[in-house]
Amino acid sequence: MADDIRDLARAAREASRVLVRATEAQRNAALEAIAVAIEQNVEAILAANAKDLVAAEPAVTEGTLSRPLVDRLRLSKGKVLKTIALGVRSVKDQADPIGKTEAATELDEGLKLYRVTVPIGVLGVIFESRPDALVQIATLCLKSGNAVLLKGGSEAFHSNRTFSRILVEATRGLDGIPEGWMHQLEAREDVQSILDMHDCIDLIIPRGGNELVQHIMANTKIPVMGHADGICHVYIDKDADIGKATQISVDAKMDYPSSCNAVETLLVHGDIAEAAVPSVIQALKDRGVEVRGDERTRALVDVGVADETDWSTEYLDTIVSVRVVDDFDQAVEHINTHGSHHTDAIVTENRSTATQFLQSVDAASVVHNASTRFADGFRYGLGAEVGISTNRLHSRGPVGLEGLMIYKYVVEGNGHLAGTYQGDDARSFTHRSLDETWPQDR
Amino acid sequence: MADDIRDLARAAREASRVLVRATEAQRNAALEAIAVAIEQNVEAILAANAKDLVAAEPAVTEGTLSRPLVDRLRLSKGKVLKTIALGVRSVKDQADPIGKTEAATELDEGLKLYRVTVPIGVLGVIFESRPDALVQIATLCLKSGNAVLLKGGSEAFHSNRTFSRILVEATRGLDGIPEGWMHQLEAREDVQSILDMHDCIDLIIPRGGNELVQHIMANTKIPVMGHADGICHVYIDKDADIGKATQISVDAKMDYPSSCNAVETLLVHGDIAEAAVPSVIQALKDRGVEVRGDERTRALVDVGVADETDWSTEYLDTIVSVRVVDDFDQAVEHINTHGSHHTDAIVTENRSTATQFLQSVDAASVVHNASTRFADGFRYGLGAEVGISTNRLHSRGPVGLEGLMIYKYVVEGNGHLAGTYQGDDARSFTHRSLDETWPQDR
């Protein structure tokens, strides 16, 4: 690994230790400076973006880069001013995640314990295509007091470089903001360098397609926050309202077919299949969805064949597979076996079946009588979204700023010794819950 | 990897999905059954333990097993009845960690979001020596609804096998408790098998010495909850009360010298060194502590030499190193560079210096005017302790039952579609915080 990248990571660690002491006002001033600098540099940003678009054309012609990917790369004056600069101000306006007292306990007279939120430390972010991802992630890190090493995709090379320069220059020398709080890496081999630095980087956040995320998860010992697949299900129970089932199935597939929380497989209880399958499938076909069914589905409607591989495929497209199941248990079994533990829904009017489903399905989000598409940081009211996680540690489901925080324990005493609480004359702990925040003098 | 171990891990995943639905009463009944079975099988436990003690003797004679390790292996009737069986009942008496509603939000009329605690899933626990660790960890897992694969050290082979058999048999067939919720592995190669199963095991908890933990951390992609080193500091500030500094230094070293939260290095501010160093060091020497000092320390008192390696050594013994620092910043710099981010303390009467220290030192526990030895689950009032973590994700510092939990998001709607909240006629989310728990009908 290049020594200079290790130096950068060390510098990021140093910076994180300075940044954690920046006040909320200092971090917000830096975010405002970034928003202003983006507004003032629209022309430079668009010029850099134009270079990326021109450079992308041969790859599109050759077929190595898809047209939708290039479209996601494209910036406009409106997008820069409205979406990106405004996005920075909306991060600024979020509640300060640092220094919240999560719990306070009196251990004994004059001996108090506080659990206080602090940033995780140094994050490594690897992202594709959209250059606005750089600004979003970097500003979320700044707000939450985390230092960050970023590596963007080569297709947005010029745009990323320009945004990176703007952010670094806008925050240089500002009170409380250390040099090195963010750094953008540019060489292809830097990706592996980031993944290898488990002693310097605390968390990897991948922002990009399935393939990128899987590659990252397979090639690092650093915890990765995210999800590879989004194989989501809608289970239409025997006690479902068929109207709701139809609308929810269509919304869950068609609201945004290529998103991770779109449905890929519909499961239909055998007792309601005859009544529900034709109606649901017709509605999907009317919206242009390609439907693939198992044998029992195909006995009811004229659709293509779904086989075992369909149950484990994230189509990211206007395709859905359908399976008729024997009963509730088989539906849950199917979801827990083939799903990606991202988001799964049940449609039923039976309260007790719903509760059983929500308890039994092993997923980050479980949904009753609503679309899987609600599983999203904005819709959940988390404010800015860091990503959606299918991890079973730290953060699960849509992740907001809170997901970039950890805590430290603060003990305040007045000469207290552990020995006092041991042996024959041992003093007892009071362990009384306190309603106060740390520090008391601030 | 042996296929049967993979089968065991799959069975553990299946079991975890059943166990999550067990009621608190069912899990507590299983814990009571375990406590009773341990009480009824004292003789069998002691007989198995005696076999381990006999088997250990040649290794002690050869010097490959230390006497203290054998002592930790030894069980007595009193220990089995009082400590172990009582320990199971104290886990039983903890508040139920499953199904707590951490947050509830109204997204829109009739559309509600709940964040509810659930078990992590399947844990892999690798432990050394003390056979009571098996019982403690397995019962913490049962209480928290996690399935567990355990691998104990060969020195406690017979004791572990007996405890494992007692736990499995005591819980077999009980309502709500699945077969396979715990399994003890016995072959040496099973350790690596556990570490390789990142698709089946969600979290590794090592319970043992530094070497074991480091080996595990270096050989798995599964998140590991724990700490390798405990290099803890006491910083004696220029505004310290020397009496407090002396008592705290002695307690932090001598309360239990081989524990991870014992102090290894004292840092003394240059302005107070002349007054503080002789008093503090004399008190340590009086308690039999070997003191190693840097040059400035040795100019004041007659002690051995501390060099760079001392700053990074966890003695786990009655040894302490001492360094005189120029100022506050050098102390913080020393701790953040050489420490293990476990527990660090400041002794000072200056409120503002204390706050600065507690904010600047990057450790799981930071302590003002008290001993580092307070960093412990029992003393912190967390109830049962899973371990102490220096991770920067999920759980940090002393970890209680809460550290074995994650959450899922539950969405309850009535036919709500994501499309309703988009486009020209978009409906707005209410995002109103609710004071209710899920499920409402339970």
A415: left (phi over 0), alpha (psi -120 to 50) or beta: left
Phi, psi of A223 (to 5 degrees): -55, 135
**Domain map (residue ranges) of chain A:** 3-218, 232-374
Mean pLDDT (chain B) is 94
Burial class (CB in 10 A: 0-12, 13-18, 19+), A399: buried
CB-CB contact of B344 with B358 (8 Å): no
pLDDT in tens, A243-294: 999 999 999 999 999 899 999 999 999 999 999 999 999 999 999 999 999 9
Write out the H or E segment, with its range, that includes residue A117.
Answer: strand A111-119
Q: Which of A9-13, B34-38, B47-51 has the lowest mean pLDDT?
A: A9-13
Chain B CA closest to residue A225? B393
Could you tell me the pLDDT band of residue B131, with boundaries at 50, 70 and 90? confident
A397, A418, A429 ranked by CB distance to B381: nearest: A429
Residue B416 to residue A336, Cβ atoms within 8 A: no
Report pLDDT for A442: 44
CB-CB contact of B297 with B286 (8 Å): no
Distance CA A55, CA A435 (A): 59
Report pLDDT for B442: 44
Residue numbers of chain A with a pLDDT score lower than 50:
1, 442
Report pLDDT for A367: 98
What is the secondary structure of B268-331 as a DSSP string?
EEHHHHHHHHHHHHHHHHHTT-EEEE-HHHHTTS--EE--HHHHT----SSEEEEEEESSHHHH
B368, B393, B439 ranked by CB distance to A412: nearest: B368
Chain B residue numbers touching A358 (CB-CB < 8 A)? 410, 439
Chain B residue numbers touching A431 (CB-CB < 8 A)? 381
Report pLDDT for A441: 57
Q: Tell me, what's the ipTM? A: 0.94
Mean pLDDT, residues B232-248:
98
Interface of B with A in 23-82 (CB under 8 A): none
Mean pLDDT, residues B392-411:
95
Task: Report the predicted TM-score, pTM, of the whole model to 2 decimal places.
Answer: 0.94
pLDDT in tens, B68-117: 778 889 999 998 988 899 999 999 999 999 999 999 999 999 999 999 99
* Distance of residue A59 Cα from the nearest chain B Cα, in angstroms: 33
pLDDT in tens, A68-112: 778 889 999 998 988 899 999 999 999 999 999 999 999 999 999
Report pLDDT for B71: 83
Q: Does A108 touch chain B (CB under 8 A)?
A: no
Domain topology for A232-374: Aldehyde Dehydrogenase; Chain A, domain 2 (3.40.309)
- Three-state DSSP at B198 gives coil
Domain covering B3-218 in this structure, CATH number:
3.40.605.10
Instruction: Quickly list H helices, A131-221.
Output: 132-144, 157-171, 190-196, 210-218
Q: Does B198 touch chain A (CB under 8 A)?
A: no
